[in-house]
Structure 1
Amino acid sequence: MTPRHALAPIAAIGFAVLATACSRGPAPAPTGAAHPAPSTSSALPHSGAPKVEHPLPASALSGDPCRTALTETQVGRIITTTPPGKPRIEARLGPTCDWHNIDSGAAVRVGYVTEDHQGLSAVYQNSQPKAKVWRPLPPIQGLPAVAFSDFEGIGLNSTCQVSFGTSDDLSVDVTITLGESKAGKVDPCGVAAQAAGIVAANLWQRAGS
């Protein structure tokens, strides 16, 4: 039986780091095209990706992440405002939602990777070789996860993506862009991991586990 995973309390710094009193234009869309093309490998997992021992049902990733990944209150905790999410379909990946604070530049993106059917294996195969930061994480709500970024060092980095596997062939991407006042001062991968924890807890709840 799949275990129920409770969401641990969130440290106050986890989301305060995204707030800022400065204004700037909209943040650039977070990078992190972790799955540019399906792998030719048939056996999963591959490329060093961990196996998902307690998978979520595929139905947990159905529908629009703007409605199911984060509540309005949770978005407000992450980027200090509650803007409407902007849904879109990422080619070869699946549905994605973007929220961003137009005043601070802080942003969060959640994508349900349902189309390439490679799960975390595609992340390990395609993103690990070029990532400047590659950080396998402790399981997030019981699900294997990794944080990575195109930029090395906190001084240059304001964006980080956390991907976690919901099964061997499905995964979720959570990308954080820090607000202007925190960029270069706070580790965005730590913030992304906390945001991913919220998304994963919501998915477990949706699955009834």
Structure 2
Amino acid sequence: MRANRALQTLAFAAAALAGITGCSSTPVATPPAPSPSSSAGTLPHSGAPKVEHPLPASALSGDPCQEALTSAQLKEILGTAPQGARDDSAVGPACNWHADAAVGVSYATQTHEGLSAVYKNTKPQSKVWRPLPAIQGFPAVGHAPDSSDTPNDFCQVSVGIRDDLSFDTSLFLSSGKVGKADPCELAAQVAGMVVTNLRARAGA
């Protein structure tokens, strides 16, 4: 049941990023891929910070199940290294790993607006919205949707690697850590691992 709720929350978060949810807290079906808005030519917008030292777009060209996190990193996060399950959406490719806790990584390659899409579409639908310190120089924000039954056990961190590209790390705390650990802090640590791997892939 916990894994099902995690998947529902991740689906809602992806839908919010694509800008296709309303005010309902019920997760929606995966929509058609969004088209770039007219504001995409003037990035960043909607209050999103600029990415000062961008990575090449090729950094997000791989399979997140294979390249976002290593087995050693998964063991550090989850205590085990389960096989990842692809869970692509209109936003881009994504992968989820489930144990007692759950973690997901998605590459937002289809919005073409990077963090600007997060600030424009996700912020208005978020119960938690927390700008974070830059992760290895890349701007980041933590958030949780209104659909989250218990926002103290879930957080999604969005990181801009270019003005037009971003990725998300989503984390559900294990039952033993709910109320004892900050999910946004841990999701930010996961995001740092992903940044390390993306920089290595890009040769940066």
Report if TM-score (shorter chain) is over 0.5: yes
- Residue 18 (structure 1) aligns with: none
1:26 matched to 2:3: yes
- Residue 202 (structure 1) aligns with: 197
How far 1:25 moved relative to its partner? 5.0
* Residues in 2 aligned to 1:65 and 1:50: alpha-carbon distance in whole angstroms: 25
Q: 1:193 aligns with which of 188, 194, 200?
A: 188
Q: 1:150 aligns with which of 120, 145, 148?
A: 145
Instruction: Write 1 or 2 for the structure with the bigger share of helix.
Output: 2
* Residues in 1 aligned to 2:2 and 2:130: alpha-carbon distance in whole angstroms: 30
- Quick check: 1:137–1:147 contact (8 Å CA) kept in 2? yes
* Residues in 1 aligned to 2:2 and 2:66: alpha-carbon distance in whole angstroms: 26
- Quick check: 1:156–1:184 contact (8 Å CA) kept in 2? no
Residue type of the alignment partner of 1:131: S
Q: Which residues of structure 1 form unaligned runs of 5+?
A: 1-23
* Residues in 1 aligned to 2:169 and 2:48: alpha-carbon distance in whole angstroms: 18
- Residue 14 (structure 1) aligns with: none
How far 1:156 moved relative to its partner? 4.5
- Residue 84 (structure 1) aligns with: 83
Residue type of the alignment partner of 2:142: A
- Quick check: 1:27–1:107 contact (8 Å CA) kept in 2? no
Deviations 1:84-109 (A, max 9, x none): 00113212x111010010xx2x1000
- Quick check: 1:27–1:100 contact (8 Å CA) kept in 2? no
* Residues in 2 aligned to 1:156 and 1:145: alpha-carbon distance in whole angstroms: 19
1:122 matched to 2:149: no
- Quick check: 1:27–1:177 contact (8 Å CA) kept in 2? no
SS at match of 1:204: helix
Written as runs of structure 1 = structure 2, the 5 A alignment for 1:124-139 is 124-139=119-134
Written as runs of structure 1 = structure 2, the 5 A alignment for 1:4-153 is 26=3, 28=5, 29=7, 30-31=9-10, 32-33=13-14, 34-37=16-19, 38-42=36-40, 43-91=42-90, 93-101=91-99, 104=100, 106-150=101-145
User: TM-score, normalised on structure 1?
Assistant: 0.81
* Residues in 1 aligned to 2:2 and 2:94: alpha-carbon distance in whole angstroms: 22
SS at match of 1:157: helix
Identity over aligned pairs, percent: 55
How far 1:188 moved relative to its partner? 0.4
Residue type of the alignment partner of 2:131: P
How far 1:27 moved relative to its partner? 5.0
Residue type of the alignment partner of 2:188: A
| CA distance 1:75–1:55, shift in 2 (3 Å) | same
Residue type of the alignment partner of 1:26: A
Residue type of the alignment partner of 1:107: A
* Residues in 1 aligned to 2:53 and 2:61: alpha-carbon distance in whole angstroms: 18
Structure with the bigger RCO (C-alpha within 8 Å, sep 6+) is 1
Residue type of the alignment partner of 1:185: K
* Residues in 1 aligned to 2:187 and 2:176: alpha-carbon distance in whole angstroms: 17
Root mean square deviation, CA, Å: 2.0
